[in-house]
Copies of this chain bind each other. A is one copy, B any other.
Amino acid sequence: MTYIEQYIEENKDRFLKELFGLIQIPSVSSIAENKSDMLKAAEYWKKLLLEAGADRAEVYESDGNPVTYGEKIIDPTKPTVLIYGHMDVMPVDPINLWTSPPFEPEIRDGKIWGRGAEDNKGQSFMHAKAFELMVRTHTLPCNVKFMIEGEEEIGSPNLGKWCEQHKEMLKADIILVSDTSMIARDMPSITTGLRGLAYWQVEVTGPNRDLHSGLYGGAVANPINVLAKLIAQMTDEKGKITIPGFYDDVLDISAEERALLAQAPFNLETYKKSIAVDEVSGEEGFSTTERTGIRPSFDVCGIWGGYMGEGAKTVMPSKAFAKISTRLVPNQDHEKIAVLFKEHFESIAPKSVKVEVTSLHGGQAYGCPITVPAYQAAEKAYLDTYGKRPVPVRSGGSIPIISTFEKVLGIKSILMGFGLDSDAIHSPNENFPLEQFYNGIRTIPLFYKYFAEIK
């Protein structure tokens, strides 16, 4: 039994007890009345870090919820790992679908159940315990910093500024994050790409009031008809986005890299069955994983206008609205895309309506080359634990703060997640398998070991 196994074996019950204490704090960042719980969670994290062996740990104010920062500097000349995690969680509605109460964690069927059990209390807690393990077994090979924020689930609106303000303190060689999933429990993977995002609201105004669809229908532009036509024009029959200049900054992916990405196991039939569609649909010339991993996409996230109640009301509405988003790939700039879309959408609108496009949100894509030392360290660490070399994966999702870290702090992030698709994060009955939880605590010290060696 290695020192790692032994330490885990001797302390596993305490680990769970401490994690349960964290989950019991209802730190839902999107609900104002849970504000005081954010401070409780931050103080809880401070205690965790100090007890684990940090030189110092503090609860810092930000323009929003507090950030807990802690560090242990063993030797300023050695490399430094900065751990990022978040203490806030998603709301629990619909509460009646939970088998056990979300803030009363329990073990059932080999899994930890509760809101935050995985995302991100469970996953970030593994780092606290891996850190403790290394300190107590005198195996910590480099400096460690922790930055645990309280606003990830609401888009980290204040952390970028907080990083700016504490740039010096946060200096590190790599940021290590466990806030993603593995392909499967026997198939480790490292997320090397995240898509960016540009998001707008569009408003199409026809007549100045709702009109009788009989008296005016056919003679006045109907804003819903027009909105449908405008949206329809945003993509062509090959699934390409038609906004002029949209693909200008998209990098070509080499055949070699596409082959590597294609190694990730993927079963189209299982995929279709899991979401109950008869056929997938997307850009011609790319596979399903490529369509979400390496290509941008165009989605209407919401649409509304006119009569939405029961039965048949004959009305030509004055206005129609849509929430429109594009997912972007590395090297596309979300601010540039925001302007391109706005200009194009407004310019193709007929003069019979007024169109207003408002940019609501944006985030840069992120890409991490598989050649950086930290990636190789993570690869070796997973290989030790799982007996399999992890697969690099480009996720279709966005974690905008990761590209902010790169921009503000100039540090790459390694997304070393231990979640599984079945964890039901953001949903009722969130859970985290004990096996993955302990595997995380096993694997993280190996990352430090290999990273200190390679670096």
Contact = CB atoms under 8 A, between A and B. Distances in A.
Interface of A: 195, 197, 199, 206-209, 211-222, 224-225, 227-229, 231-233, 235, 239, 275-283, 288-289, 291-292, 295-308, 311-317, 320-323, 325, 327, 350-354, 360-361, 395-398
A239 B213 CA distance: 16
B296 A302 contact: no
**Total copies of the chain:** 2
A420 to B, nearest CB: 14
A211 B292 CA distance: 13
A353 to B, nearest CB: 8
Contacts of A233: 232
Contact of A350 (B276, B279, B292): B279
A298 B209 CA distance: 19
A314 to B, nearest CB: 6
B298 A317 contact: no
Nearest to A218: B297
B352 A219 contact: no
Given A218-B396, A302-B305, A327-B217, A199 B277 contact: no
A218 B312 contact: no
A222 B300 contact: yes
Contacts of A296: 218
A362 to B, nearest CB: 9
Q: Which of A303, A351, A360 has the most chain B CB within a 10 Å cutoff?
A: A303
B215 A299 contact: no
Nearest to A225: B300
A368 to B, nearest CB: 17
B301 A218 contact: no
A397 B215 contact: yes
A200 B432 CA distance: 46
A455 B279 CA distance: 67
Q: Which 9 A-B pairs have the closest CB atoms?
A: A218-B297, A214-B397, A232-B232, A302-B306, A208-B276, A312-B361, A228-B231, A302-B307, A207-B275
Given A291-B219, A292-B219, A311-B360, A305 B306 contact: no
Contacts of A219: 280-282, 288-289, 291-292, 297, 396
Nearest to A426: B212
Contact of A304 (B303, B311, B353): B303
A421 to B, nearest CB: 10
Given A216-B292, A360-B312, A224 B300 contact: yes
A278 B322 CA distance: 22
A217 B317 contact: no
Given A307-B323, A323-B306, A197 B397 contact: no
Contacts of A282: 218-220
Contacts of A275: 207-209, 211, 216, 220
28 contacts: A197-B214, A199-B312, A206-B277, A207-B275, A207-B277, A213-B301, A214-B396, A214-B397, A214-B398, A218-B283, A218-B297, A218-B298, A219-B281, A224-B231, A225-B299, A227-B228, A228-B228, A228-B231, A229-B231, A232-B232, A278-B352, A301-B307, A301-B314, A303-B304, A303-B308, A306-B323, A312-B323, A312-B325
A301 B318 CA distance: 10
B352 A279 contact: yes
Given A214-B327, A305-B303, A306-B303, A281 B395 contact: no
Contacts of A229: 228, 231-232
A395 B281 CA distance: 44
Given A315-B301, A361-B312, A277 B216 contact: no
Q: Which of A209, A225, A276 has the most chain B CB within a 10 Å cutoff?
A: A225
